[in-house]
Structure 1
Amino acid sequence: MRLTILLITMKQIKVKWPLNPQETVLFKVDGVYIKNNFNAKQVTLYITNERIVLESKRMLMFFLFGIIGWLLTRKKITLEFPLSDITDFRRTKHGFNKKVAEFDLIDGRTIRIGVSGKWEVFDAAYQKAMIDVQPLFSVN
């Protein structure tokens, strides 16, 4: 597992959306953004040292123009939230998928994302990103 994490951090992950100064992309994985029980969207999940970004392609172009239309569409940011807004993180399930990340945010929202690939690699990348995050409220 360590070797996998080292290989992931050694690769430079390129994105088409602007990064903040001093922001680096730590991890990229495909997944499904689960809005509710009947509505989901295929996304690419990026974990940076400051935020989590969900990027999706428009599926309407796929239905209208097939593979060529899908390849020519631009990706757009569906959802993003800072790591400092996360109050709770846990692994849940949705149907048969047992690799669903559930984030509770400070504003009361709950974000559910089905992760593809190995859960342990995603969890390690998330925990590594959270090490450097300064909490919004501190007891000191």
Structure 2
Amino acid sequence: MQQIKVKWPLNPQETVLFKVNGVYIKNSFSAKQGVLYITNERIVFEAKPMLMFLLFGIIGWLLTRKKVAQEFQLSDITDFKRTKHGFNKKIAEFDLIDGRKVRFGVTGKWEIFDAAYQKAMIDVQPLFSVN
């Protein structure tokens, strides 16, 4: 299995399990394109700076650093479901322990993303348990 490289720091025992292009949906009017990563500890969304692409073309876009726009621990997730946003029916919605809802549009097959998420969650110990 090929190791997925990232430009942000990983924790000592952290490994990247899955990578997919996607869109971070901030609200009904604002979204960022980028890459969504699932590690064994957290979910990280790395935004691509689209303004640099508009101003300087492909060269400016390639030279700019990507930045982490959103991240949260897998143990902070209280609920996960597939939902839709406009015509896109492949939206991953995460409810977090602090009350936030975070939504990402996922490219490619939904089943592959869902399987990667479920596999990552197998080893995560939730902070609280219902049973």
Instruction: Report the TM-score range of the alignment, normalised by the length of the smaller protein.
Output: over 0.9
Q: Could you state the TM-score of these two structures normalised by the residue count of structure 2? A: 0.97
For the pair 1:73 / 2:64, whether they are aligned, the reply is yes
Secondary structure of the residue that 1:123 maps to in structure 2? Answer: helix
Aligned residue for 1:62? 53
Segments of structure 1 that go 5 or more residues without pairing to the other structure are: 1-9
User: Structure 2 matches for 1:13-92, cutoff 5 A?
Assistant: 13-92=4-83
Identity percentage over the alignment? 84
Q: Could you state the TM-score of these two structures normalised by the residue count of structure 1? A: 0.90
C-alpha displacement of 1:138: 3.4
C-alpha displacement of 1:139: 5.8
C-alpha displacement of 1:59: 1.4
Secondary structure of the residue that 2:24 maps to in structure 1? Answer: strand
2:47·2:69 contact (CA, 8 Å) conserved in 1? yes
User: Are the structure 2 counterparts of residues 101 and 139 from structure 1 closer, same or farther at C-alpha, using a change threshold of 3 Å?
Assistant: closer
Secondary structure of the residue that 2:116 maps to in structure 1? Answer: helix
Root-mean-square deviation (CA, aligned residues, Å) is: 1.1
Aligned counterparts of 2:93 and 2:42: Cα–Cα separation in 1: 15
Among 104, 122, 130, the alignment partner of 2:121 is 130
C-alpha displacement of 1:57: 1.9
After the TM superposition, which segments of 4 or more aligned residues of structure 1 sit over 4 Å from their partners? none
User: Are the structure 2 counterparts of residues 100 and 139 from structure 1 closer, same or farther at C-alpha, using a change threshold of 3 Å?
Assistant: closer
More helix by share: 1
